[in-house]
Amino acid sequence: MAKKQFKAESKRLLELMINSIYTNREIFLRELISNASDATDKRYYNALHEGKSGLNRDELSIELAVDKEARTLTVSDHGCGMTKEELEQNLGTIAKSGSLDFKQNNETAKEDVDIIGQFGVGFYAAFMVAKHVEVTSRSMEGDEAWCWRSDGADGYTVTPAERAECGTAIVLTLKDNTEQDNYDEFLQEYRLRGIVTKYSDYIRYPIRMPVEKSRMVEGSDKDAEGKDKTPEYESYTEVETLNSMVPIWKKRKGEVSEEEYDRFYQDKFYDYEAPLKVITSSTEGLATYNALLFIPARAPYNYYSRDFEKGLQLYSSGVLIMDKCADLLPDHFSFVRGIVDSQDLSLNISREMLQHDRQLKLIEGSLEKKIKNELESLLKNDREKYETFFKEFGLQLKYGIYSSYGGAKDLLADLLLYTTSAEKKYATLKEYRDRMKEDQKYIYYAAGESAAKLDVMPQNERLKEQGYEILYLTDDIDEFTLKAMREYDGKEFKSTSDDDLGIDNESEKEEIKKQNEDNKDLLACVKDALGDRVSAVVLTSRLKSYPVCLTAKGQISLEMEKVLNSMPA
Ligand code: ADP
Ligand code: MG
């Protein structure tokens, strides 16, 4: 049976597409600039391939121009251009990508060029802002120029045109403003500059635009000494390059100064302070990417709140895909900011998202290891800096262990710091462990409001006297974190308010048992007086100079109970 072809109502299809794939209409410019970059790459590649020299990347600029009166915006390039047939095929057929064909036909092109296009729909994004589009193009293969014109859904025409050299100029006549929608923003220099730096800053060719400026000139109104009485200005235009072209993360670490990294971080992530640490990473293999990461010096004001959004900027071939890609960062390192650039992501059609997250998972795993190693080396080599870090973000590490039910323990346990009874400075668990006495069965901890208060807690007295060190836990999350870890390096954690501290030997145990037996009536009498406020009253060997203390039975300590009770139901 003969198969029939699907028919498509192309007018409706175009409208649907234009209005539904993109969330943000400003990306039309990203798409046109990406196409111009692809076309320029193709021309450059072609020249290299044919052995023609004399083409210089810097001269192959992409140009933006605005005509405020005519309400047009022009994007032009000196790229490969299109023949009449190519105009019809590429711009007249939805989902036809000349760039994808090029990539497939030129496998060797990978190293020299960085083709962005693949879906064959980006061009139509122009109709989100334009009521009329004219594309004048001359192919590098011929000497005729052609003009493709369209008002959108109604179709297009192609007629002969004039153009002196190969390349393409796309003139958008902006839509009329309505009460809801104003398109004039796309005629404003600062707005266009903003869009270019946001999405296309790392396009490898200069993106240039004439910019209005003014300068002081010598005036006619002079004073007695011949100086100007009133300053006079004249305006002039200067063509400026808007993009920075070479991504700082693709440079080798030695090529970039500390100041450059700091400035980049502060500009990009709006921080008034320099970062505490810069991390660079590039890998090839399973996950191929370049990353430039920063640990901020201070937690943002909303860091420990629901408003905080974690994520890294994700670029593909130098084009911004996502501003905050959350999947690239595990929660326990959510404080990290920065950029990941990867060429082999499977983008979805709007190029605002990814199709599946297998590659992201690989990158996330690799970044997680990298961040951990960097923190560990900071801890080892610059303790002071690490402690600054820990004061800002330590809570997040503790939370990471707790919320993964201990799953993140191997990764994070050695990054934790605690004040202890031995020294009033921070100690790692490893340092505590190394100082443990030979006969010490447990890692002891006491939870409370402050180290000062814990220092005079009756429960801790005998332990301290016997030379056992105690971790002082002063954050609400602390005890929950230790419970999630259960043990460290073979030693269980034990609260100093626990019923049994494991410090008495058999004869001491017997002795206490006997004393409790002998004083049964007295203890019952005290219990009676206290009523339901305690569950038992016993004699203990743990006290030295204090007469009484409270202890807890079971898994939930007194401090944990306080935290749990203070949480909203
Ligand atoms: P994609 O870029 O994903 O291929 P587009 O809809 O953006 O899809 O563009 C369709 C095709 O039109 C491109 O693949 C390319 O062949 C051609 N094209 C678009 N803009 C230009 C340009 N400035 N110069 C040369 N060819 C272009
Ligand atoms: Mg494109």
The answer, yes or no, to whether any atom of ligand 1 lies below 6 A from the CB of 406, is no
DSSP state of 6: P
Q: Which atom of ligand 1 is nearest to the CA of 91?
A: 12
Q: What pLDDT does residue 222 have?
A: 78
Task: Please choose, from the candidates 488, 444, 492, 448, the residue with its C-alpha nearest in 3D space to the C-alpha of residue 468.
Answer: 444
Task: Please choose, from the candidates 437, 415, 436, the residue with its C-alpha nearest in 3D space to the C-alpha of residue 426.
Answer: 415
Q: Which residue has the tokens 């983008």?
A: 347
Pairing of strands 207-217, 232-241: antiparallel
DSSP state of 166: S
DSSP state of 7: -
Q: Which atom of ligand 1 is nearest to the CA of 121?
A: 6
The answer, yes or no, to whether any atom of ligand 1 lies below 6 A from the CB of 101, is no
Convert 260-276 into a string of H (helix), E (strand) and C (coil): HHHHHHHHHHCCCCCCC
Distance CA 319, CA 30 (A): 8
Q: What pLDDT does residue 567 have?
A: 67
Partner residues linked to 516 by β-bridges: none
Q: Which residue has the tokens 């301290």?
A: 464
Residue 318 Cα to ligand 2 middle (Å): 14
The answer, yes or no, to whether any atom of ligand 1 lies below 6 A from the CB of 97, is yes
Fill in the amino acid letter for 139: S
pLDDT digits (tens, 9 = 90+) for 186-216: 999 999 999 999 999 999 999 999 998 998 8
Q: What pLDDT does residue 67 have?
A: 96
Stated pTM of the model: 0.79
Nearest CA to ligand 1 atom 15: 98
The answer, yes or no, to whether any atom of ligand 1 lies below 6 A from the CB of 243, is no
Contact 368, 333 (CB under 8 A): yes
Question: Which residue intervals of 319-448 are DSSP H helices?
Answer: 358-381, 383-403, 409-412, 429-435
Q: Which atom of ligand 1 is nearest to the CA of 36?
A: 23
Q: With left for phi above 0 and alpha for psi between -120 and 50, is residue 467 left, alpha or beta?
A: left
Residue 27: phi, psi to the nearest 5?
-70, -10
Distance CA 284, CA 266 (A): 28
Residue 500 Cα to ligand 2 middle (Å): 70
Which segments are annotated as binding site for ATP?
A: 31, 35, 77, 82, 90, 96-98, 118-123, 168, 351
Q: What pLDDT does residue 105 have?
A: 85
Pairing of strands 156-161, 207-217: unpaired
Of the bound ligands, which one is closest to the alpha carbon of residue 89? 1
Distance CA 100, CA 119 (A): 7
Distance CA 328, CA 334 (A): 10
The answer, yes or no, to whether any atom of ligand 1 lies below 6 A from the CB of 35, is yes
Element (H, E) at 568: none
Residue 159 Cα to ligand 1 middle (Å): 19
Which parts of the chain sit beneath pLDDT 50? none
158, 179, 326, 386 from 333: Cα distances, Å = 55, 45, 11, 15
The answer, yes or no, to whether any atom of ligand 1 lies below 6 A from the CB of 115, is no
Q: What pLDDT does residue 110 have?
A: 62
Q: Which residue has the tokens 């996502």?
A: 322
Sign (positive or negative) of CA dihedral 196, 201, 206, 210: positive
Q: What pLDDT does residue 470 have?
A: 94
Copy the structure tokens of residue 56: 């210089």
Task: Please choose, from the candidates 291, 324, 285, 290, the residue with its C-alpha nearest in 3D space to the C-alpha of residue 307.
Answer: 324
Contact 331, 306 (CB under 8 A): no
Distance CA 506, CA 47 (A): 89
Element (H, E) at 66: strand 62-67
DSSP state of 278: E
Question: Which residue intervals of 50-187 are DSSP H helices?
Answer: 84-86, 92, 98-105
Which segments are annotated as binding site?
A: 31, 35, 77, 82, 90, 96-98, 118-123, 168, 351
Contact 146, 85 (CB under 8 A): no
Distance CA 175, CA 69 (A): 13
Contact 247, 320 (CB under 8 A): no
Distance CA 131, CA 147 (A): 17
The answer, yes or no, to whether any atom of ligand 1 lies below 6 A from the CB of 136, is no
Distance CA 422, CA 445 (A): 12
Number of H helices, E strands in the chain: 17, 19
Q: Tell me the three state secondary structure of residue 149.
A: strand
Determine the distance from the C-alpha atom of residue 550 to the mean position of all C-alpha atoms in its chain, rounded to a whole number.
47
